[in-house]
Amino acid sequence: MDVIQQYHKLNPLKDFDGKPIPDELIPYALPLESDRICRVIKKIIRCLYFKHFKFVLSPEIEISISTEPLTEVEVEKIVIEHKGFVGNKVDNLFIYWFDQQEKDGSIDWILLFQGGFKYFRATIKM
């Protein structure tokens, strides 16, 4: 029995809606390191920043990542006012939205992945 199945027996894994994942689906679960996912999201944000602003962010620029829940207003804004998407028009991998804050120059980004089941917030502190 692998580590994920052992963990699931002690602390049932849940889906994005908080419902327990059925035991028969656990063998298909893949362990992912959150640090690695955050590093990939930061690289994506840096690439999108360059695409839109034609400027390479210094490695010293801080990018913070969060999975804080989105409000209905935010989801609507992303879907209607998104700045772009990654993937093709049929199978988008994710859509994204960003907004530069006037008060401190920081830029808030939201990446909404296919199906809307996973999203990430990122903030670039300038």
CA distance 76 to 80: 6
- In terms of phi and psi (left: phi > 0; alpha: psi -120 to 50; beta: otherwise), the region of 76 is alpha
If we measure between CA atoms, which residue out of 10, 32, 31, 30 comes closest to residue 20?
10
pLDDT in tens, 67-116: 888 888 888 888 899 998 888 766 768 889 999 888 888 999 999 887 65
Give the pLDDT score at 5: 84
User: What are the boundaries of each domain within the chain?
Assistant: 58-125
Enumerate residues 6+ apart whose C-beta is below 8 A from 81.
Answer: 97
Q: Are 56 and 50 in contact (CB under 8 A)?
A: yes
Query: What's the pTM value of the predicted model, to 2 decimals?
Result: 0.73
pLDDT in tens, 43-57: 999 999 999 999 999
